[in-house]
Amino acid sequence: MINFLELTTSGLALGSIYALIALGFVVIYRGSQIFNFAQGEFLTWGAFGMIALLDAGLPWELALLGTMLCTGLLGSVVERVALRPLIGRPVFVTIIVTIFIGSILHALAMVVWGSDPKGMPTPWEAMKALKIGEVSIWWNSLAAVIAGAVALGAFFIMIRYTRLGVAMRATASDQETALALGIPVGRIFGTTWFLAGAYAALAGVLLSMFPRNADMHLSFVALRAFPAVIVGGLESIGGTVVAGLLLGVLEVWAQGYVNPALGEFGQNFHTVFPYIVMIGFLIVRPYGLFGSQDVERV
């Protein structure tokens, strides 16, 4: 039972991170029908940007905001320079361009920061844990859950109640009409990339805290958030969050219960587990948990 609770909380922490990453995929996809395969590199840049800012002497909280801001700006620059000129081109063109940009960002990160893993400093002791009875929860997990909740909550308030949010949803619904109504659609695309970058940076920082490190493999985690996007229904922001949390928990459960049961074979079974869930969904419910259902007058 204790084991179960501990696994569940660290699953929720991982799930919050997946949700943050998947949200980035979804806002960009809804805005401009681009699937951003460079998303993972934003994780790396966010994490190493954080370490760089801390080295420069910024306090932890400011460094976190700073790296989110910088990575967000990196996202909008990528959009403006590489993807804006491709508006209206077939989907595969944009996909290949994002893969290409991903490689460039990856190589650049290696040049700037090298390929050695670095520990992510935290304001609290890395292994500090909260004890509730027998159950101990790492502060780092708690921080991930709380930061994820705050960031996602802020996003929902923004998209639901602010005028920028309305403009973003209008653009997602019908680009041409949005443009015809005076919404600067290009700028909205830039904003979606900014958000994707900033949230990826947050996810990157949370992810590279103990027990992991900040290293060049961080970007692969974005691909592990990919099933959350599919299971959530690709266009549904709420669905993505639910699916992200769900898959995070399922993955850690798999790690805790299924891996040992499989013996030798099961060493890294948990990493493929989200994909198995995704394939299951693609077979049974290809539009995901909350896939978009068009509202139509009967």
Partner 1 sequence: MQNQNKLILEVQNLETVYHGVMRVLRGMSLKVPEGGVVALLGPNGAGKTTALRSITGLLDIHEGKITKGKINFFGEDISKVSAHIRVWRGMGQVMEGRRIFPELTVSENLQSGAFGVGRKTMLDRMEAAYERFPRLKERKDQEAGYLSGGEQQMLALSRTLMSNPKLLVLDEPSLGLAPNIVSQVKELIREIHKEGVSILLVEQNAAMAMELADYVYILETGKIVRDGTPEELREDEDIQEFYLGIGGEKRTSYREVKHYRRRKRWLS
**Contacts with partner 1, 141-180, as mask; x by CB under 8 A:** ----------------------x--xx-xx--xxxxxxxx
CB of 197 to partner 1, least distance (A): 23
Is 126 or 183 the residue whose CB approaches partner 1 more closely?
Answer: 183
d(CA 25, CA 52): 26
Rg (CA), the chain: 19
Do residues 195 and 72 lie in contact, with contact meaning Cβ atoms separated by under 8 Å?
yes
Is 103 or 162 the residue whose CB approaches partner 1 more closely?
Answer: 162
Element (H, E) at 230: helix 218-232
CB of 237 to partner 1, least distance (A): 12
How many C-alpha atoms does 158 have within 13 Å on its Cβ side? 13
Give the pair of three-digit tokens for residue 36: 């951003």
Residues 6+ apart with CB under 8 A from 88: none
Give the pair of three-digit tokens for residue 77: 């620059």
Is 74 or 167 the residue whose CB approaches partner 1 more closely?
Answer: 167
Specify the DSSP class assigned to residue 84: G
Binders of partner 1 among 51-80, rule CB under 8 A?
none
- Tell me which residue has tokens 């980035």: 24
- How many chain residues are in contact with partner 1, going by CB under 8 A? 24
N-terminal to C-terminal alpha carbon distance within the chain: 51
Cis peptide before 117 (omega within 30 of 0): no
Position 181 contacts partner 1 (CB under 8 A): yes
Position 33 contacts partner 1 (CB under 8 A): no
Give the pair of three-digit tokens for residue 66: 């700073």
Position 90 contacts partner 1 (CB under 8 A): no
- Residue 51, SS3 per DSSP: helix
Binder of partner 1 out of 90, 264, 283, 297 (CB under 8 A): 297
Position 116 contacts partner 1 (CB under 8 A): no
CB of 163 to partner 1, least distance (A): 6
Position 294 contacts partner 1 (CB under 8 A): yes
Is 15 or 288 the residue whose CB approaches partner 1 more closely?
Answer: 288
Position 296 contacts partner 1 (CB under 8 A): yes
Position 185 contacts partner 1 (CB under 8 A): yes
CB of 28 to partner 1, least distance (A): 19
Binder of partner 1 out of 57, 90, 133, 182 (CB under 8 A): 182
Is 48 or 290 the residue whose CB approaches partner 1 more closely?
Answer: 290
d(CA 69, CA 82): 20
User: Cα 5 vs. chain centroid, distance in angstroms?
Assistant: 24
Interface residues with partner 1 (CB under 8 A) are: 87-88, 163, 166-167, 169-170, 173-185, 294-297
